[in-house]
């Protein structure tokens, strides 16, 4: 169920749209244990993981 952004006041009879999403959700649920294991390890780490976003760059705050 989600909000229908085409619905307009004062007729709110179609405010919510119901859509079957079971198949899409089941596929995502199967990936959860692996993602949770990764996130738990990241939260328990003593140091932050290396980042390539600013690799080789230096910045001044002035």
* Tokens encoding 17: 């749209």
**What's the number of CA atoms in the CB half-sphere (13 Å) around residue 39?**
6
pLDDT score of 61 more than 70 = no
Q: What is the pLDDT at residue 56?
A: 66
Q: What is the pLDDT at residue 32?
A: 93
Q: Give percent helix, percent strand, percent coil of the chain, each to the nearest 5.
A: 35, 10, 55
Rounded-to-integer distance, Cα 61 and Cα 53, Å:
18
* Tokens encoding 26: 């089941």
pLDDT, tens digit, 9 for 90 and up, residues 11-60: 999 999 999 989 889 988 998 999 999 999 988 988 877 777 766 666 66
Residue 3 pLDDT class (50, 70, 90 cuts): very high
Domain boundaries, the chain: 2-43
Q: What is the pLDDT at residue 8?
A: 94
């Amino acid at each position: 169920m989600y909000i229908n952004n085409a619905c307009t006041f004062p007729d709110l009879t179609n405010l919510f749209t119901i859509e079957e999403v079971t198949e899409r959700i089941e596929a995502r649920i199967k990936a959860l244990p692996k993602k949770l294991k990764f996130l738990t390890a990241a939260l328990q780490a003593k140091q932050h993981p290396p980042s390539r976003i600013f690799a080789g760059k230096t910045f001044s705050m002035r």
